[in-house]
Amino acid sequence: MKQLITAGLAAGALAFGSSVWAGDAHTWEVEDNFENVGFAIENAIIGAGLVIDSTSHTGEMLERTRPATGSDKVIFTQADIYSFCSATVSRAVMEINPANVQFCPYNVFLYETPDRPGIITVGFRDYPEGEMDQVEELLGGIVADALMLEE
């Protein structure tokens, strides 16, 4: 996987990322094909001892429903979201504050846009500072493993 841009962290940087803000998400871009990057993300999640609960094929859904919504804009060539949970990290953050249940399952997304073929954006949402930093460390480690970034 050819690393195009190590990007991604708005507030508080993980050891492997430089700071680039993309809304409320931590993102990285790589030059590769979508299937390779998706496979790497899946393997990194499984390699972390986690089980993927679901894979949302958001890009396919948006394209399939585009005519019904009256839109002619193609947003993604492909976009998927992997959802999973970590019993260890989830328990830790929810023991501190049970309301942190709202953040589980955790998601890693990837997408490619028509105007940037071969550039795959990978990321995860930004979580509140404090105990949720543990979740960002978990997700950052998964992305680092998948994209072969230095931690």
Given a contact cutoff of 8 angstroms between Cβ atoms, the answer to whether 104 and 131 are in contact is: no
Task: Count Cβ atoms below 10 Å from residue 8 Cβ, excluding itself.
Answer: 27
pLDDT at 24 (0 to 100)? 87
pTM > 0.75: yes or no: yes
Residue 52, strand partner residues: 84
64, amino acid identity: R
CA neighbours within 13 Å on the CB side: how many for 29? 13
Q: Mention the CATH class of domain 2-147.
A: alpha beta
Query: Model confidence over 77-101: pLDDT tens digits?
Result: 999 999 999 999 999 999 999 999 9
- Local confidence band at 105 (pLDDT 50, 70, 90 cut-offs): very high
The pLDDT tens digits for 3-39 are: 554 444 333 333 333 334 446 899 999 999 999 999 9
